Amino acid sequence: METWTVETVDGGGQLEVHTFRPASAASIPGSKESAEPAGVVLVHGTLVTDSLYWPFARTLSVMLGRPVHSYNRRGRGRSAPQPSGYSVETEIADLLVVMEKTGSSDVVAHSYGGFVALQAARRARINKLVTYDAAVSLSGNLSSRWRPELEEAVTAGQLDHAWAHLVQGLGTAGPISYLPMGALRTLSVLSARTRLGLEMRSLLPTAVTEMRAVLDADAHLHDFMELSTPTLMLSGGWSPSYFAETGRTLAGAVPVIDFAVVPLQFHEGPLRPGKRLAARIARFLSGTRFHGELPDAT
């Protein structure tokens, strides 16, 4: 893995990038002298850093025989903080500059990252795009997922309360999402004893601004009709149903969008061990079926 930085176009600082290559030989990302194939940029979701995606990025790079570049979005790691005027436009500009500097043509994106990538594809040229559980607000379908209590709790520093509202509202933590608030607060206290739990708590303020960005960019089907990027929207078989409903709706109306369910996968599919999801994505990006891969449901 190579770690390097990219300067943001708004003068806000830098973005921390991690590059994975299928071969041991290193080369300069984005170098015109490099003979390696165009790369793939991986965009992570909310309440996490890109480090949780490194095994997935490494597997995808090997399958594709291409470099995969994951980066920390604003407010994480050594990347710049979220600016005061943060919006989806901030994220779009960041994704496009990472694509440019890495010499990448394709994008793979998870959850909030899928929302960012779809918005970027409406404005700029992306060769191929794969989203997994893209958090797209379509005709207000995600408005009920927003809980004002989340922002209130974050502002008051009541992070266990905030985490419980986030988990219940989004329903992305599997069966845990349906536990009572008291039980979720207790789980938050326990998880804070772990490195990952502490990290997630520290990122709760970014979750508030990112959820607001999704709702502020609420779109309708006609907003995607001119999309020209071949896009595969995937959803986990055990993910919250609203992700699949949005994917099916868009695929049914927009010619360049396809949709499929990846069985036996939760919302955090890209963060879990296994190669099924990576193989499904690699097949779409390369047009190649991998040995032992099972067909997916639609």
User: Per residue in 71-123, pLDDT tens?
Assistant: 999 999 999 999 999 999 999 999 999 999 999 999 999 999 999 999 999 99
User: Per residue in 203-262, pLDDT tens?
Assistant: 999 999 999 999 999 999 999 999 999 999 999 999 999 999 999 999 999 999 999 999
Identify whether the C-beta of residue 70 lies closer than 8 Å to the C-beta of residue 79. no
CA 165-170-176 angle, 5° bins: 75
Report which DSSP code applies to 75.
T
Query: In Å, how far from its chain's centre is CA 194?
Result: 23
Q: State how far the Cα of 27 lies from the Cα of 31, in Å rounded to an integer.
A: 8
Dihedral angle at the C-alpha atoms of 83, 192, 188, 74, nearest 10 degrees?
A: 20
User: Per residue in 46-79, pLDDT tens?
Assistant: 999 999 999 999 999 999 999 999 999 999 999 9
Q: State how far the Cα of 247 lies from the Cα of 131, in Å rounded to an integer.
A: 9
Q: State how far the Cα of 58 lies from the Cα of 62, in Å rounded to an integer.
A: 6
Written as one string, the DSSP assignment of 272-286 is SS-SHHHHHHHHHHH
Q: State how far the Cα of 30 lies from the Cα of 172, in Å rounded to an integer.
A: 35
Residue the block writes with tokens 């896009």: 231
User: Per residue in 257-291, pLDDT tens?
Assistant: 999 999 999 999 999 999 999 999 999 999 865 44
